[in-house]
Structure 1
Amino acid sequence: MEKQKTLRVLSESVLFHGLKTDEIEGLLLNVKYKILRYKRNEIYTLEGMNCCHVDLVLSGCVTAYMVGDSGKSLLMGKIGAGAVIAPAFVYAKSHKMPVTVKADANTEVLRMSPEELLRFIDGNATVRHNFIVCISEVVVHLTQKIHMLNLMTARQKVVSYLKELCRQQGGSIVDLGCSRQELADSFGIQKYSLARILSELAGQGIITVEGRRITIRDMQALRRL
């Protein structure tokens, strides 16, 4: 990735939000970093490995998931351009990654050591604030994930997700944003269970399903669920 494009991505990232590209360029002159590339489906890290670096995604996307002894997979989330990978584990007493992470597409990351990031944090109030926000967002995401997995039925998970998509995409026609298998994995349910719930909602006249595109035909009925 060319330098100016890298700086533009960084200026839109969580960590450097609020800084101009020339300010970011000046900060980078004083720290050691490198650009790493991962091919599609290449493993970034395995569950149980130590988290020893601070990596910010410049392009592409990586997926974090857990795999149980039975082989059941739980999709924890996707990390796209501008996001930091596992920021909460960089300075934790236990650096072991609780998830396996692999590249969903050809991916570039900017890597620096925890010590270099500390220099950023100590020397720039904006970066310090952004890093705190970054960790806070991870906590919120994990809290919501735990609530969804443990306290919601499969049907409630699907309905809640559709409501959130409507809010995010601002309309009654939404894109699931991932394959049905990935969506089922994120809910911790089987793919056939997801298909059955979507079919039931369609049969009730609440939605229409066309591949990854979902049309909400009865928004009031969806909100009542």
Structure 2
Amino acid sequence: MLTTKIDRREFLKRLPLFADFSAQELTTLAAATQEQYLPRGTPIFRRGDPCRGFHVVIYGQVKLGFVSVQGDEKIVEIIGPGFSFGEALMFMEKPYIVGATALADTMLLHIGKEAVFAELEHNPAFARRMLAGMSRRLHGLIKDVESYSLRSGSQRIVGYLLKDEPEGDGSQVTLTVSKKLLASRLNLTPEYFSRVLHDLSEHGMIAVKGRQITILDIERLRGYEG
């Protein structure tokens, strides 16, 4: 994995969150930023660890989740390149309530909270973008609660397959994580997830090849009730 020191300003200025920062502001923020190179499977932080800033994913993939007393893992969110995590707890100055682990070889930027707080004092546009990011995450969590409460397990799976609004028959959906992790993200057991995919395949609505799913009959898929 690449471990060469980089110019953090170059990475920061490419991120929408810091789009209007001046060269001096980027220099100040870069001084409070650390790059982290994490092999797949490396813990980033654990539940209960202190939160001293927030992270931005440059490349790779991160899962946020926790393990129940029974030893079952619940995935709360999967974070990809260009997205951030940890802002809310940074503002609350509370420990992490979930753990984070690299799902692939990953590069992160960790931005210290003192520098963020100082920048928020005089940059309203930056404050609005941070609020928008946290609002977007809250909206996603509310949608999750709605899905778990009002939709069956099979409807959640179909909803996931259709979430990017595929154009029609022949469209392909690539699962970016394992079926086990995706099942946890949808609050389902891996066995149930596989069973629904098999049923959809048997009825000619999809074709499954590893993590590649081809939609064969989008209209029937949209109406599927399980």
Quickly name the TM-score band, shorter chain normalised.
0.7 to 0.9
Aligned amino acid, residue 15 of structure 1: L
Distance 1:24 1:154 in 2: 48
Distance 2:39 2:194 in 1: 31
How far 1:8 moved relative to its partner? Answer: 4.9
Distance 2:169 2:98 in 1: 32
The answer on 1:41 being equivalent to 2:41 is yes
The answer on 1:26 being equivalent to 2:24 is yes
How far 1:170 moved relative to its partner? Answer: 11
Aligned amino acid, residue 76 of structure 2: M
How far 1:46 moved relative to its partner? Answer: 1.0
Q: Tell whether the 8 Å contact from 1:41 to 1:103 is kept in structure 2 after alignment.
A: yes
Taking the TM superposition and a 5 Å limit, the aligned residue runs for 1:153-164 are 153-164=152-163
How far 1:81 moved relative to its partner? Answer: 2.6
Report what 1:10 is aligned to.
12
Gaps of 5+ in 1: none
Distance 2:22 2:78 in 1: 25
Instruction: Flag as ranges the 4+ runs of structure 1 deviating above 6 A.
Output: 168-171
Change (3 A) 1:48 1:211: same
Q: How many residues align?
A: 218
The answer on 1:92 being equivalent to 2:92 is yes
Report what 1:174 is aligned to.
173
Give the fraction of aligned pairs with identical amino acids, expressed as a percent. 23
The answer on 1:141 being equivalent to 2:140 is yes
The normalised TM-score by structure 2 is: 0.85
Report what 1:65 is aligned to.
65
How far 1:7 moved relative to its partner? Answer: 4.2
The answer on 1:151 being equivalent to 2:150 is yes
How far 1:122 moved relative to its partner? Answer: 1.9
Q: Tell whether the 8 Å contact from 2:35 to 2:107 is kept in structure 1 after alignment.
A: yes
Distance 1:161 1:55 in 2: 26
How far 1:51 moved relative to its partner? Answer: 1.6
Deviates more, 1:143-152 or 1:125-134: 143-152
Distance 2:166 2:108 in 1: 30
How far 1:176 moved relative to its partner? Answer: 1.7
Distance 1:68 1:193 in 2: 19
Distance 1:192 1:148 in 2: 19
How far 1:55 moved relative to its partner? Answer: 2.4
Distance 2:177 2:60 in 1: 15
The answer on 1:210 being equivalent to 2:212 is no
For residues 137-187 of structure 1, the C-alpha deviation after alignment (integer angstroms, 9 at most, x for no partner) is: 111121122222333221011011011144499972111222111111111
Q: Secondary structure of the residue that 1:91 maps to in structure 2?
A: helix
Q: Secondary structure of the residue that 1:200 maps to in structure 2?
A: helix
Q: Secondary structure of the residue that 2:163 maps to in structure 1?
A: helix
Report what 1:75 is aligned to.
75
The normalised TM-score by structure 1 is: 0.86
Q: Over aligned residue pairs, what C-alpha RMSD do you find?
A: 2.4
Q: Tell whether the 8 Å contact from 1:176 to 1:212 is kept in structure 2 after alignment.
A: yes
Change (3 A) 1:168 1:186: farther
Aligned amino acid, residue 59 of structure 1: Y
Aligned amino acid, residue 89 of structure 2: F
